[in-house]
Amino acid sequence: MVNEGEEARVPIFRDIRRYYCEYCGICRSKKTLIDRHILTEHEEEMKEKERNEEKESGKKLNICDECGANFQKPAHLKQHMQSHSIEMEIYYWA
């Protein structure tokens, strides 16, 4: 049983879709407007963000499945993974 009064029965015809600038939070009704705004107002920030994302995805390549530790180089991760398998062997034979 739902009775929430007049307001709830009024259908919403407005297009309430809004796009927000992820840098300064301004609101636009079209994504193209936001894209253009970002290109003109936040070009440097956008480049900076892309650089950071590249760095982060680079890091993700060397994350240990066992404990989540991450390493600068794949070789370090490999070495680290070996220490895990040694630990497991010790545990098994103990």
Is the CB of 1 or the CB of 73 nearer to Zn ion? 73
Answer for which of 19, 21, 33, 46 binds Zn ion (CB under 5 A) is 21
Give the whole-angstrom CA distance, residue 16 versus residue 10: 15
List the interface residues with Zn ion, window 27-66 (CB under 5 A): 41, 64, 66
Answer for which of 23, 46, 70, 71 binds Zn ion (CB under 5 A) is 23
CA angle centred on 34, ends 41 and 32, rounded to 5°: 125
**Of the candidates 55, 49, 50, 48, the residue with the CA atom closest to the CA atom of residue 72:** 55
Half-sphere exposure (Cβ direction) of 83: Cα atoms closer than 13 Å? 9
Is the CB of 11 or the CB of 31 nearer to Zn ion? 31
Residues that bind Zn ion (CB under 5 A): 21, 23-24, 41, 64, 66-67, 69
